Amino acid sequence: MYTLKTLSMSSIFSAFLLLSLATGAFAEAQTTCPVMGGTIVNKELFADYKGERVYFCCLACPEQFAKDPEKYIKKLKEMGQDPEKIETNK
């Protein structure tokens, strides 16, 4: 015979919260440079990559980002921040 265990609401909420955090559902807007870790103060310093805009803390960072964009996008998302979504003309 099988028995059904009931889950408390707090257990369900905890599982949902962990899953949401793991998938980036609660990621915040970018405030930190993924290359050097500095605070974003100048939104005119950025690079667009695959429909996302990544901001940088200084002039040296876009060149470093261009060498391996996937690495820095991943790093940004691991920090709990999302690049800004942009429209692309494709």
Which tens digit of pLDDT belongs to each residue from 13-37? 555 555 545 545 567 999 999 999 9
Specify if 48 maps to a domain.
yes
Specify if 74 maps to a domain.
yes
The total domain count for the chain is: 1
Specify if 8 maps to a domain.
no
- Residue 63, domain extent: 27-85
Amino acid at 65: F
pLDDT digits (tens, 9 = 90+) for 64-89: 999 999 999 999 999 999 999 998 77
Give CA–CA dist 89/44, Å, rounded.
21
Helix (H, G, I), strand (E, B) or coil at 85: strand
Specify if 20 maps to a domain.
no
Q: Are 77 and 32 contacting, i.e. CB atoms less than 8 angstroms apart?
A: no
